[in-house]
Amino acid sequence: MMTSTLLVASIIKILVIVGFLFNVAGLLTWVDRRQSAMIQDRVGPNRAVIKIGKFELRVFGLLHTAADGVKFFFKEDFMPPKADKLLFSLAPILVMVPVLALAAVIPMADTLCLKQIHLTAMVNGAEQSWWPAAERVGTCTTDSVEGAVSPLNVGILYVFAMAGQGIVGAGIAGWSSDNKFSLMGALRAASQMVSYEVAIGLSLVGAMMTYGTVRLDDMVRWQGENAWGIFVQPLAFFLFFVSAVAESKRIPFDLPEAESELVSGYFTEYSGMKFGMFYFAEYMEIVTSSMLVVVVFLGGWQLPFLHRDGLTIAIGDVGLVETVKMSHLLVTIIGVVTFFGKTLAICFIQAFVRWSLPRFRYDQLMRLGWRVLLPAALANIFITGLVLLAIQDAGPSVQGALKTAADVTQGIVAILLASLALRGVVFAFSSRKIEHVLVGSAAAMSNARGGTKDAPMGA
């Protein structure tokens, strides 16, 4: 019975994490078009339309994403005559599979104790059931469902191993295509990803020293009881975020596929669904890197003052709100929603970065990785070690002050989240007025002569 329950739970977790990856990756293709148009004040996706009589259905440009998917399936699967047919076909698989494998160890929620989901008892001679709360400290060791599809004790080390496999796919794609632009893009991709993987790994060493574990779920639990990683490792957060954007080969780090120099880089010769796999794997990398940022630095499934047993608001030894018991199942569901909500926010920030910064030159890219991020990561490890030693040698008063400071950071996060939620509600129900501002002498001259005439857009 227990084996079948765990099997069903595993299938559900796989469907949730894979469904989230694919759906958000598809949604990000729309965000890139829609958000870029908003940021750069230009026309966004408006060509794909379904006409029913005089009624036109565009669905905010979402039909463009659907049209892209259909196009990938029906385009010709071209292969260069002199390409290595086996490696050419294998490369897209080697790019996409590691992304899916990496997501398997990312915890979406805290451990779900099955014994705490539903209990029955005799009350006044009648059987009554309820949804009890769990204990705040510790996790159940039996009859439990982990928050990750496949929780591993090596945790973050497995992430490093899987993330490094993307280099193989990019290198094979460029070499097997029999194209000089593809080969140049593969060389750029390999050197860029190797360089920034060093910065990613070293940036997380400080976090592992602070949390005292390499397990991702234990990292999240530490942040729930203390402070989020962005407060205890601010430099590591910045280094990891920048390196993660570089690893996904997105603007301003899109040198391996710079269209003005290399056409499309290492996947220039790919078409149809093979190109779609490269294209989709890039967006999936954004989602998985955002998940890692959330787990390591933004508290994972944790919300301020919400613990496994319910809501407790306290600053140091001062309890502002005593523990409000909450159902263990309800707390777990809130954790899942919180985790995915944080991930979507980081994905949005990455899209904003893409359409706000220009592309680096290749020498600037490598200089940033080896001469800025790498020394900063080493310095962060050294400083973290000194601080941890100082805390261990400090007295109880210092450790109590640090606990109070950690609770204060939780309060700051709670206020920030509440203000953002309120701002979102106000924005959703308020009318917007678009004002065009002329920038540059050419625009001013055109406006002085009566402006420009609007003409229908060509195909």
Please report which confidence band the pLDDT of residue 423 belongs to, taking 50, 70 and 90 as the band edges: confident
Give domain status of residue 23, yes or no: no
- Own/partner pairs, 454-459, CB within 8 angstroms, 24+ separation: 457/43
Task: Determine the structural domain holding residue 325 and report its residue range.
Answer: 79-120+127-134+141-430
Q: Tell me, yes or no, whether 4 lies in a domain.
A: no
Confidence grade of residue 96 (pLDDT, cut at 50, 70, 90): confident
d(CA 198, CA 202): 6
Taking the C-alpha atoms of residue 206 and residue 424, their distance in angstroms, rounded to an integer, is 35
User: Nearest Cα to 257, choosing from 359, 136, 145?
Assistant: 359
Would you say 30 and 42 are in contact if contact means Cβ atoms under 8 Å apart?
A: no
Judge whether 53 and 44 are in contact, CB under 8 Å: no
Number of Cβ within a 10 Å radius of residue 323: 15
* pLDDT score, position 40: 72
| Best CA proximity match to 17, nearest among 291, 427, 412 | 291
Give 18's pLDDT tier (boundaries 50, 70, 90). Answer: confident
**Does residue 457 lie in a domain region?**
no
Alpha helices in 301-357 (DSSP H): 328-354
Bridge partner residues of 89 (DSSP): none
pLDDT band for 154, please (50, 70, 90 cuts): confident
Give bridge partners of residue 105 from the DSSP assignment. none
Annotate 143-202 with DSSP letters as a single string. SEE-SSSS--TTTHHHHHHHHTTHHHHHHHHHHHTT-HHHHHHHHHHHHHHHHHHHHHHH
- Are the C-beta atoms of residues 339 and 13 closer than 8 Å to each other? no
**Average pLDDT rounded to a whole number, residues 95-121:** 77
Whether the CB-CB separation of 210 and 234 falls below 8 Å is answered with: no
pTM to 2 decimals? Answer: 0.83
- For residues 359-368, average pLDDT: 83
pLDDT of amino acid 382: 92
**pLDDT higher than 50, residue 459:** no
Share of the chain above pLDDT 90, in %: 6
Q: What count of other Cβ atoms lies within 10 Å of the Cβ of residue 53?
A: 5
Cα distance between residue 231 and residue 409, in whole Å = 8
Please report whether residue 21 resides in a domain. Answer: no
Largest separation between any pair of C-alpha atoms in the chain = 89
Q: Are 301 and 335 in contact (CB under 8 A)?
A: yes
Separation CA 181–CA 175 (nearest Å): 10
Structurally, how many domains does the chain consist of?
Answer: 1
Q: Mean of the pLDDT values across residues 316-339?
A: 79
The reply to whether 200 falls in a domain is yes
Determine, yes or no, domain membership for 411.
yes
> Does 381 score more than 60 pLDDT?
yes
pLDDT band at residue 119 using 50, 70 and 90 as cut-offs: low
Lowest mean pLDDT among 272-281, 345-354, 392-401: 392-401
Which pLDDT score is estimated for 456?
Answer: 55
Spatial distance between the Cα atoms of 139 and 355, rounded to a whole number of angstroms:
43
d(CA 421, CA 425): 6
Of the chain, the percentage scoring pLDDT greater than 70 comes to 85
Distance CA 364, CA 377 (A): 18
Residue 430: pLDDT above 80?
Answer: no
**Structural domain contains residue 436:** no
CA 286, CA 24: separation in Å to the nearest integer?
10
336 has pLDDT over 60? yes
Look at residue 311 in the predicted model and tell me its pLDDT: 79
Assess if residue 65 is contained within a domain. Answer: no
Question: Which pLDDT value is given to residue 122?
Answer: 45
The mean-pLDDT minimum among 13-22, 202-211, 212-221, 314-323 falls in: 314-323
1: pLDDT confidence band, cut at 50, 70 and 90?
A: very low
pLDDT band at 418 (very low <50, low <70, confident <90, very high): confident
Tokens 């996790």 -> residue: 139
Spatial CA neighbour of 310 closest among 334, 282, 346:
334
Whether the predicted pLDDT of 127 surpasses 60: no
Q: What is the mean pLDDT of residues 235-241?
A: 91
Question: In the predicted model, what is the mean pLDDT of residues 96-121?
Answer: 77
Work out the pLDDT band at 47, boundaries 50, 70, 90.
confident
Phi, psi torsion values for 123, nearest 5 degrees: -125, 115
Structure tokens at 60: 């905010």
Task: Band the pLDDT of 2: cuts 50, 70, 90.
Answer: low
